[in-house]
């Protein structure tokens, strides 16, 4: 699977335990919960899907397949909103 990052013109800010991502061109925003926020932080560090899954299963008591499915869903949603781009 490809590695993604937030697009350079997208603004992201962690607010308490959520992350708010703003697409400045159209003013739309996307909010993710604490787990999604952690996933996006790892994505921004250039981590691969496998590295994100490993980090999340280490941090939380959750099945790797569940994390992988949630991560892919998050990426699909971010992509649909035009907030991410492929880097590798």
Residue-range domains of the chain with CATH: 4-83 (3.90.930)
pLDDT score recorded for residue 58 = 95
In whole angstroms, give the CA distance from residue 26 to residue 53: 32
pLDDT score recorded for residue 17 = 84
Q: If you average pLDDT over residues 52-67, what whole number do you get?
A: 95
Say if residue 88's pLDDT is above 80.
no
Q: How far apart are the first and last CA of the chain?
A: 9
pTM score of the predicted model: 0.89
Say if residue 18's pLDDT is above 80.
yes
Burial zone of 81 (CB within 10 Å; 0-12 exposed, 13-18 middle, 19+ buried): middle
pLDDT score recorded for residue 36 = 93
Q: Residue 16: pLDDT band by 50, 70, 90 thresholds?
A: confident
């Amino acid at each position: 699977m490809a590695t993604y990052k937030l697009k350079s013109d997208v603004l992201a800010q962690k607010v308490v335990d959520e992350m708010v991502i703003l697409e400045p061109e159209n003013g739309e925003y996307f909010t993710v919960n604490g787990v999604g926020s952690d996933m996006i932080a790892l994505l921004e560090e250039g981590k691969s899907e496998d590295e994100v899954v490993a980090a999340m299963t280490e941090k939380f008591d959750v099945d790797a397949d569940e994390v992988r499915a949630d991560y892919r869903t998050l990426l699909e949603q971010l992509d649909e909103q035009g907030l991410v781009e492929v880097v590798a």
